Amino acid sequence: MRAQPARYELPYEDETPVDTNPYLTRVWHRVGQQPRMPAAGTNRRLTIFGSVEALGRGRLEVLPARQDSAGFARYLAALDARHDATGRDIILVLDNGSAHVSRVSQAALAARGDWLEVIPLARYSPHLNPKERDWRVLKRDHRGHLAPTLQAFVATVAAGLAQLGGEECLIIDEVPQWWLEGHRREPTGRRPGRPKGVTDCCPRQRRSQTLPACT
């Protein structure tokens, strides 16, 4: 790739969760005095799908709500735009996360086989992925847990991503509105609890209360 930098790009991709509660790390404190940090109280988790290019020519950061195949598909859509803008073929380095090895993700990667090549990392080898260092710096330096609202939390995370450096940085905010409203999952519109009058398609088996006598 270094012999033909105008033809290829080598991004290292990874994903990480960020929480509204503070990121726990090592701190100095006096003996016998427990350190305290302000937090929102009710934790909310956001996922970042991101990649760093081996020569520092471009970083992609996508902020969906969940760490699943749909979030990885949003990252691949951003990678499509990167390929169209640069015209370079891409060699994508991935770990063996569940969002990468699902059938939906594998089909999406295979559909881009004319310009995308995938190199899987060995199992349990985060030290081979330079994107892991970005996550450590982000969680160490950004103070998202001090944000008064979830919208401010997302803005703080995006600002921390922008400070990671590199020639180009594309941050795509795709956080859904239901997450910003404080829901853990996308609302279905139904009332909580079991609807009245609903019957099971498969009747439940009742356990016998009469045990057989010992023989």
For residue 115, pLDDT over 80 is answered with yes
Amino acid at 38: P
pLDDT at 211: 65
- pLDDT tens by residue, 48-72: 999 999 988 889 999 998 899 999 9
Domains of the chain: 8-23+41-180 (3.30.420.10)
Measured distance CA(107)–CA(113) in Å, rounded: 10
CA–CA separation, 22 and 162 (whole Å): 20
Non-local CB neighbours of 17 within 8 Å, separated by 6+ positions = 45, 46, 47, 48, 67
The H or E element spanning position 161 is helix 150-162
User: Residue 146 and residue 40: Cα distance in Å, rounded?
Assistant: 8
Each residue of 14-54: pLDDT tens digit?
999 998 888 777 778 889 888 887 766 678 899 999 999 99
pLDDT in tens, 186-202: 888 777 776 676 666 66
pLDDT value at residue 56: 85
**pLDDT computed for residue 72 by the predictor:** 96
What is the reported pLDDT for 52?
95
